[in-house]
Structure 1
Amino acid sequence: MEPQGFIAFAEHRAARLSLGLKIAACDHERCRLTLSGPEALIDAFEMAVSLGPYDSIVLDVSRFQSNEDLPEKALP
């Protein structure tokens, strides 16, 4: 995965859906994003990311309601 391409894709999709987006970490293996907005639009964002930018393959998406719910291994 190319981090810059994925970040640009995520920022564009979040803006189109009027979602708040914070990129906590992103490298060649994974990205950790924090979104804010209506749940239905976050679902739409997840679908868009699953289809992904052309230069990235998204194998898995994990969702948590808050940072407190994150497993330790998910933290950068």
Structure 2
Amino acid sequence: MKIEQVRFVFRGTLPATSFLEFAQHRAQRLSLWLVAQDQSDTHAQMLVTGQPDLVDAFEMALSLGPTDCVVQDVWRDDTQEEKGMSL
């Protein structure tokens, strides 16, 4: 099974508590590991590890975000890809 690790930076209007809770809930539902790295009301940086298709689904879910958030931009760094790891 291929596992990847991706760093995401979401920018926009992102109330910190609401966005982080939403991210944690989505990561859990998608069986992903999530490490929140830096967050404010205008950006959130996180490291996500899991199956590539599920990491993509996480990105899409957070781009839509909770109702009180507006994601304007997403930066994704795939250079940390890991192979052969298992969940």
Please report the TM-score for the alignment, with normalisation by the length of structure 2: 0.73
- Cα distance, 1:65 vs. partner? 2.0
Moved segments of 4+, more than 2 Å: none
Aligned residues: 67
Q: Gaps (5+ residues) in structure 1?
A: 68-76
CA distance in 1, matches of 2:52, 2:74: 15
Matched, 1:62 2:75: yes
Identity of aligned residues (%): 42
Q: Which has the higher strand share?
A: 2
Please report the TM-score for the alignment, with normalisation by the length of structure 1: 0.83
Q: Which has the higher helix share?
A: 1
Bigger relative contact order, structure 1 or 2, given CA contacts below 8 A and separation 6+?
Answer: 2
CA distance in 2, matches of 1:18, 1:4: 21
CA RMSD, Structure 1 to Structure 2 (Å): 1.1
